[in-house]
Amino acid sequence: MAEHVVSRKTYIVVWIALMALMVLTAGLSRIDLGEWSTVVAMAIAVIKALLVILFFMHVRYEDQKITWVVVIAGFFWLGILLALSMTDYLSRGYLGVAGH
Amino acid sequence: MHDSSAVATHGLRHHFADMEQQRASATLGMWVFLVTEIMFFGGLFAAYLVYRTAHYDAWVIGSEHMNFWLGTINTVILLCSSLLVALAVHAVQVGQNRMCAIYLWIASAMGVAFLALKGIEYHAHFVEGAVPGALWKLAVPDPRAVQMFFYIYFVMTGLHALHVTIGVALLAVIGWHAARGRYSPVYYSPVHVSGLYWHFVDVVWIFLYPLLYLIAHKKA
Amino acid sequence: MATIAAPAVERENYLNTDFRVRSWLLTTDHKRIGILYLLSITAMFFVGGFAATMIRLELLTPAGDLMSSDTYNKMFTIHGIVMVFFFLIPSIPATLGNFLVPMMIGARDLAFPKINLASWYMYITGAGLMMYVVLTGGVDTGWTFYVPFSSTYSNTHVIAAVVAIFIAGFSSIFTGFNFIVTIHRMRAPGMTWSRLPLFIWSHYATSVIMVLGTPVVAIALTLVALERAFHMGIFDPRLGGDPLLFQHLFWFYSHPAVYIMILPSMAVVSEVVSTFSRKRVFGYAAVALASIAIAVLGFLVWAHHMFVAGISAYAALVFSLLSYFVAVPSAIKVFNWMATMYKGSVSLATPMLYAMGFIGLFTMGGMTGLYLAALGIDVHVHDTYFVIAHFHYIMVGGAVMGYLAGIHFWWPKISGRMYPEAWGKIAAATIFIGFNLTFFPQFVLGYLGMPRRYHAYPPEFQVLNVMSTAGASILAVGYVLPLIYLLWSLRYGEVAPDNPWAATGLEWRTPSPPPTENFPETPVVTWEAYDYSSVAEVPVAR
């Protein structure tokens, strides 16, 4: 039971999608989207990363469920680090300083 | 249990029961290692997020001093090299060791090209004086926070470049083994796990590119 | 029961297969690497213990008369760094874990034996560098390396110490990642997840923390080193940086690191309590999942170390609340051990004494942890001896007691010899008494307001400090005793049978000491964990 063989065609289609997304994000950065530009840039980055992880890194074809768990856990823990750190930084200004 | 007598056992280490167990262990091992790497970069992403929130205007100024075209070309290089590494895995899976080696070597060479362009960029920053500390020459508003942007830029891209360097060496060595016919459709874990590592380096860059190069242009 | 008499011809085992030094230094046998770790961490324990002795001697009198405040700073820093990074974190996982994880699941070795050996060499490199730091002037930042002191003002070997910890950290990552892959991929036929010994569940949870947490402290310490080297950096307020960010990154690992220390001890206690009560662990699934819950929840509480450091009051509320949640799985474990002993056939062998000591002391440490999680109380006792007493109840009363329980419990398997039972009991009692006399007075001292990290104190605190120092000397005797009689037993101890405790784990169903390949044939597991009726049925391999 060797690993799933992904066809060359799939790889090339994914690569074309990655290149297209890269052109899109580079082009959109030249247009003012206001508050949305960061959101859009990060959304495109996430899609690109997902394409690489799911296809190039074979996670989509992985029959070991644990690989999915490991990948999701990695990003979930990164989320914990970023989110809980930001609870501090985003709420620091809420409470005024006595005497000011 | 699998019947291991039917499959070739070339490359099987003594403590594994069969090739399948060994292959699954190698893949899982690399994934767990990559999770460690995510958290390693994660500390820097946390610093980036905190300071970008605090000094957004400085971040925009800093990003204006990035070389948009070199960054974009480097993105293209890494995406193409990732495709080649994926094709290398396909080649070894269907028994084409020679093609596998060629794909890996080209990908490795593209990694060298990436590093060369990165070096040109760093050099330009030095010439421009966009280096935090004594060499700082940029006349910009809020120079301290802009220096912080460059500090984080150098640490993040520097750590990434270190990973690219390791990847370049790894792909070259694995390519050499492939050329000598060490791998087979049954035993090719080293190709696969080195490929995973290279794709990870690519994924990190996919995030660094918009976070460092694409902030400035949103200003109307 | 197996025979006690020594066999006429010694069986080939992992110890007598090759006596050359080279066969040890280049071994990929997980059992031998476990022994290498055992020797190294024991050496480091006595280095850290020496620093602790100097601290307690200084605190015997109110005046700072034994050493200068600078030297004192270096003493508590060395004590902290060596004990945390070079003893407690590798203590059980790298010794007993290395030895037992493959055996308990019926594997021939860990999944990556060479990486396992590399992990020991990294540990040795880190420890060697740390010893260089100690011998050439030390480091005075405290084990926490808070910026800006560590990055700007300290004139000691901060960079070298940071590099030492970085290297040791990666040895711990290698251990954790090896365990995760091994537990997933190397289990013997029939060894399902619900049949795994709780030792394995706890080590799995420990490994998860090692793999996810250690890289964050590694990058945080790297940034400190860079900031020191370039005289500016990410935590530098002159660039708009925030020194508290270092504390966030540091505690993101270093709080879960406490669970790296305590979870493996819980692993040992689950095995020992079950074996010496002759009962399956009460609520097996709850105890197993509690380990995982501790690993996950442990990552959500780190800023409770920073309540008075200037973080947002709202974030402090969130972290305070989350800190309470960790108490739930910890309490589940304590209750289930009690329920296991209830109406069990309890025998008070040395490992059981240590395990019972663990349960009591860990409970006290855990309960006082709840005091500290409460914002109001933490403001009052922050950075006092109350905190010192609290975490020593966890890290010494908990982790070290569990470690000693495990060393005694598996000593027959590791060495092939029995330890002297009477001396074992004397040492266990000595350590328990010495520990409480050392650290209980520190709760009172802290509550009365004695701050940590000072070499002098007001005279009214002297009585409690003298009690503490007296306790520490008893504790020191308690720690030296096992070192002596365990070494003695290597030559003069009774030859151990394969399964001296009639325990159920796979490691007891193979010879003592085990052969290099662990099992003559890959075992097939047909019984549930802690099924004591299975012990007699399985023929003892010999």
DSSP per residue, B44-55: HHHHHHHHHHH-
Give the Cβ contact number of residue A32 at 10 Å: 12
Q: What is the pLDDT of residues C378-435, one digit of tens each?
A: 999 999 999 999 999 999 999 999 999 999 999 999 999 999 999 999 999 999 999 9
Q: In angstroms, what separates the C-alpha of A81 from chain C's closest C-alpha?
A: 7
SS3 state at C489: helix
At B156-211, the pLDDT tens digits run 999 999 999 999 999 999 999 999 999 999 999 999 999 999 999 999 999 999 99
In a domain, B187, yes or no: yes
Q: Tokens for C470, please give them.
A: 């007296």
Residue A78, domain member (yes or no): yes
pLDDT of residue A2: 53
Q: Assess contact for C241 and B51: CB atoms under 8 A.
A: yes
The verdict on residue B16 lying in a domain is no
Q: Is 80 exceeded by the pLDDT of residue C356?
A: yes
Mean pLDDT of C72-76: 96
pLDDT value of residue A35: 77
Q: Which residues on chain B are in Cβ contact (under 8 Å) with C204?
A: none
Instruction: Tell if the CB–CB gap between B1 and C189 is shorter than 8 Å.
Output: yes
> Given this model, what pLDDT does residue A80 score?
97
Looking at the predicted structure, is the pLDDT value of residue C121 above 60? yes
Which of C119, C234, C236, C239 to mutate: most B Cβ within 10 Å? C239
Strand-pair partners of C384: C451
The mean of the pLDDT values for chain C is 94
pLDDT band at B15 (very low <50, low <70, confident <90, very high): confident
> In this structure, are residues C305 and C251 in contact, taking their beta carbons and an 8 Å threshold?
yes
> Which residues form the domain of A68?
8-91
Query: Cα(C30)–Cα(C35) distance, rounded to whole angstroms?
Result: 9
CB contact under 8 A, A49 and B203: yes
**Structural contact between residues C442 and C465, judged by C-beta atoms closer than 8 angstroms:** no
User: Structural domain of residue B195, as residue ranges?
Assistant: 36-218
User: Which of C33, C174, C219, C228 to probe the B interface (max B CBs under 10 A)?
Assistant: C219
Check if A51 contacts B (Cβ < 8 Å): no
Q: How confident is the model over C18-27, as a mean pLDDT? A: 92
- pLDDT > 60? residue C8: no
Does pLDDT of C101 surpass 60? yes
pLDDT at B3 > cutoff 60: no
Count of domains in chain A? 1
Residue B107 falls inside a structural domain: yes
A53 lies in a domain? yes
Q: How far is C252 from chain A (nearest CA, A)?
A: 7
Assigned domain for B5 exists: no
Using a CB-CB cut-off of 8 Å, the residues of chain A touching B218 are 29, 32-34, 37-38
DSSP H or E stretch at residue A36: helix A36-51
Burial of C537 (0-12, 13-18, 19+ CB in 10 A): exposed
Per-residue model confidence (pLDDT) at position B216: 66
What integer is the mean pLDDT of A15-33? 92
pLDDT (0 to 100) of residue B1: 39
- Asked if residue B203 is part of any domain, the answer here is yes
Q: How far is CA B37 from CA B3, C146, C302, in A?
A: 36, 24, 21
pLDDT-above-70 percentage for chain A: 92
Q: What is the ipTM of this complex?
A: 0.92
**Residue A14 domain flag:** yes
Neighbours of chain C (3+ CB pairs under 8 A): A, B
Of C186, C238, C249, the CB nearest to B46: C249
Q: Which domains does chain C have, with CATH numbers?
A: 29-537 (1.20.210.10)
- Listed residue (C309, C307, C305, C263) closest to C287, CA to CA: C263
Any domain includes B182: yes
Query: Quick one: which of B110, B117, B130, B108 has its CA closest to B70?
Result: B117
Token pair 């960054």 in the structure block, residue: B71
So what's the pLDDT on residue A32? 79
pLDDT higher than 60, residue C2: no
C240: nearest CB among B16, B29, B51: B51
Task: Give the confidence band of C541 by pLDDT, cuts at 50, 70, 90.
Answer: very low
Residue B158 lies in a domain: yes
Does C429 reach chain B within 8 Å, measured CB to CB?
A: no
pLDDT computed for residue C3 by the predictor: 46
Q: Cα separation of C325 and C294, whole Å?
A: 9
Give the span between the Cα atoms of B216 and B218, in whole angstroms. 6
Chain A neighbors of B210, CB-CB under 8 A: 25, 29, 41-42, 44-45
| Domains contained in chain B, number | 1
Q: What is the DSSP code (8-state) at residue C417?
A: B
For residue B68, being part of any structural domain is answered with yes
